[in-house]
Amino acid sequence: MSTLTADIFGATSAPTVTDTSDVDFERRLSDEMLRERIRREARRRLDTEARRPTSPIEVLTLRERLARPADPVTYRIEGWQPLNSRVILAAQFKAGKTTLVGNHIRSLADGDNWLGQHPVAPVEGTVVLLDFEMSPRQLDAWLRDQRIMHDDRVIAIPMRGSARAFDILNDDIRAEWAQRLRNHQAGYLIVDCLRPILDALGLDEHHDAGRFLVAFDELLHEAGIDDALVVHHMGHTNERSRGDSRLRDWPDVEWRLVRQSEDPASPRFLTAYGRDVDMSERKLAYDADTRRLTIDGGSRHDAAKRETLDDVLSVLREVPEPLAQTHLVERVRQGGERPRKQIREAIALGIANGDIVTEPGPRRALLHKCAPARRSTPQYAGTVGVSSTPSLKDGVLTHSDSQGAPVRQDGGHPDDERF
């Protein structure tokens, strides 16, 4: 065998010598990988444990579900909030949301009729308010004015400047809050308001509100709370919750609190819409001594119609003779820019409630004048002059005589060409 062949075969068959430092490295690497696998598995198991539902999830066929007795819709606030529901109160800037929340708390604790009219099922346990806007002194003063009888069933927690402490996106912090709420037997949770929390947690109002609301649902579930209200601001231009569309999707019911105009002293109006809720706009009256709100009329449209009626009556008091509707409408328009349709609706309202009476005029016209004395007939329930019967269609007031023949309001014959 040649030297080259021997070197080749010898190199091939000779045992490989491994440095002891390499052996130590591999052993240490293996141990570290094992420890990392243990930590990774521990995190996975803890995450799974945290996500596990606290109660079993019921899975039934639709037939099985429908075979059970149907539960009727029951309300926390009759017509405004069903039991086991979430409400978002969307309020215009400085529209009185804090006052409305105070009234809400009093009704929930004492069982007072909501806004003086709607029955309330009092909360079993406590009503908890987390207030992120008012100082402790202000919060105490405003709630004291409500004269809540069962004030031992109200927990008011000032959170201004401490919004970061309500980081319920953190599982541990959410668990702490759930335990705290359970300890106080919370039955209803109110958050006033949402924006300071989002800011403190670095959440974008336009994109991240849904993340917070999901965590809030989890908090309510873990704390055993069925009903809640979250206060949020409206945008400056639209009468809707500002920001993420989830703020409209999430609640079962949305309440909207608005002013009639930009004037801070203008009347406030409240409406509610959602699942099993459809409350048209209501005007609110405010008692400054008690900070109490009561329903005191209909919508902004109704309020504008009543204001227009005042203008109509003012014109009728000034003129010496009764006026046909066309002439009356034009006289009212001379004093402002109210739409003709709104003036005609106000005239119909005045006839219906007895402020205006009618009498026949020349050429089958119907003339209008102020009633000699105000009658106590409810709006829309009164009778009109004996000579005709009014009806409102598409904003136009029409009349017919006792035989059903149409009557013109401008002094012309019904067959004449209309203006």
Distance CA 408, CA 418 (A): 9
For residue 114, what is the domain's CATH number? Answer: 3.40.50.300
The answer to the question of residue 35 being in a domain is no
Q: Which residue has the tokens 């800011």?
A: 199
Q: Predicted confidence band at 45 (pLDDT cuts at 50, 70, 90)?
A: confident
> d(Cα 296, Cα 291) in Å, to the nearest integer?
15
Assess whether 291 and 325 both reside in one domain. no
Query: Does residue 200 sit in the same domain as residue 225?
Result: yes
Domain end: 298, 313, 346, which one? 298
391 pLDDT higher than 50: no
Whether 361 and 392 map to the same domain: the answer is yes
Nearest to 104 by CA among 90, 89, 114: 114
Q: What percent of the chain has pLDDT over 70?
A: 80
Q: What's the pLDDT band for 47 if we cut at 50, 70, 90?
A: confident
CATH number of the domain where residue 350 is located: 1.10.10.10
**If you average pLDDT over residues 26-47, what whole number do you get?**
87
pLDDT at 342 over 50: yes
Mean pLDDT within 63-92: 93
Q: Does residue 243 share a domain with residue 182?
A: yes
Please tell me whether residues 242 and 308 are part of one structural domain: no
For the stretch 355-369, pLDDT in tens is: 889 888 888 888 998
pLDDT for the residue numbered 410? 41
Last residue of a domain, one of 298, 322, 355: 298
Asked whether residue 53 is domain-assigned, the answer is no
- Judge whether 419 lies within some domain: no
Residue 276 contacts residue 313 (beta carbons within 8 Å): no
Q: 225 or 43, which is more confident? A: 225
Return the pLDDT at 50.
Answer: 63
Q: What is the number of other CB atoms lying within 10 angstroms of the CB of residue 401?
A: 15
| Residue 228 sits in the same domain as residue 320 | no
Residue with tokens 């978002």: 88
Residues 158 and 209 in one domain: yes
The pLDDT of residue 388 is 43
State how many domains the chain has.
Answer: 2
Give the pLDDT score at 365. 84
The parent domain of residue 381 ranges over 302-407
**Residues 255 and 124 grouped into a single domain:** yes
The mean of the pLDDT values for the chain is 82
Residue 230 sits in the same domain as residue 139: yes
What are φ and ψ of residue 88, in 5° steps? -110, 125
Mean pLDDT of 161-171: 95
Whole-number pLDDT of residue 202: 94
State which of 298, 316, 347 marks the end of a domain: 298
CB 410 within 8 Å of CB 326:
yes
pLDDT in tens, 272-315: 999 999 999 999 999 988 999 999 877 777 777 788 888 888 88
pTM above 0.75, yes or no: no
Give the pLDDT band of residue 46 (cuts 50, 70, 90).
confident
Angle CA 114–134–245, to nearest 5: 70
Tell me: pLDDT of 91 over 70.
yes
